[in-house]
Amino acid sequence: MKKFLLGTVALVALGTASAVAADLPARTYTKAPVYVAPVFNWTGFYAGVHLGGAFAGGDNINDLYGNGYRASTSGGFLGGGQIGYNWQFSPNWVLGLEGDISGLDYKRSVTVYGDYLQQKTDWLASITGRLGYTWGPGMIYAKGGVAFRDNGGFSTTNTDYSADNKSTGYTVGGGLEYMFAPAWSAKVEYQYYNFDKSTVYYRGVADARYDSDIHTVKVGVNYHFNWGGPVVAKY
């Protein structure tokens, strides 16, 4: 009888435990957190402004008779704007096309046989292609293309002198650009402008030639249109 009672109690206890286990909710599993890594997208149109300075490539002027003269060059302040388009064709490489124009106060002057000659440049412009390598918010780039300037800035104290200043040339340069906000980037850039040689004439006869290249250093900011924030990738 004792064994029968013990067996009955055991069966009842086992049944109760099974019923309680059946009523318990299913175990929940927590997913591992999703890591969201920002992937900065440089593709799109942009526009911006810049400030900087312009400096002469050299101050020596040689006439066609073997005489040399030392020119005085006034490095000038410049300011202007740029527009362009970038295409990020791989995770780290960017192609672009950019146009820019700068107003400046740049003068180069020389005294020849007591006569004062001055060549002035009031603006510079360029259309360049850009190739950049980007990592995250930063991009280092090289650029090159065609350059333009005004060429009507020759003045003299002797009207027997005139000058032929070329208004087109080439330009090369490079810089570093950094995306500091979803639609904004800042840049620092060096650009070299070469307009071949300018020729000075005395009574219509070539008298002297000199290099009319210009170096510039610029800092600027760009606004990137239709950006909408950085692209993100989930892992």
Give the number of domains in the chain.
1
Q: Which residues contact 57 (CB under 8 A, 6 or more apart)?
A: 192, 211, 213, 214, 215
Q: Is 24 within the bounds of a domain? A: no
Contact yes or no for 84/99 (Cβ under 8 A): yes
Q: Within a domain: residue 125? A: yes
**Residue 26 forms part of a structural domain:** no
pLDDT tens track for 143-158? 999 999 987 677 788 7
Which pLDDT tens digit goes with each residue over 24-43? Answer: 555 555 565 554 445 678 99
Q: Is residue 123 part of a domain?
A: yes
Q: Is residue 131 part of a domain?
A: yes
Nearest to 162 by CA among 107, 196, 203, 223: 203
For residue 71, tell me if it sits in a domain. yes
**Domain region containing 197:** 41-226
**Where residue 191 sits, what CATH number does that domain have?**
2.40.160.20
Kindly state whether residue 232 falls inside one of the protein's structural domains. no
Which residue would you say has higher pLDDT here, 134 or 5? 134
pTM value is 0.75
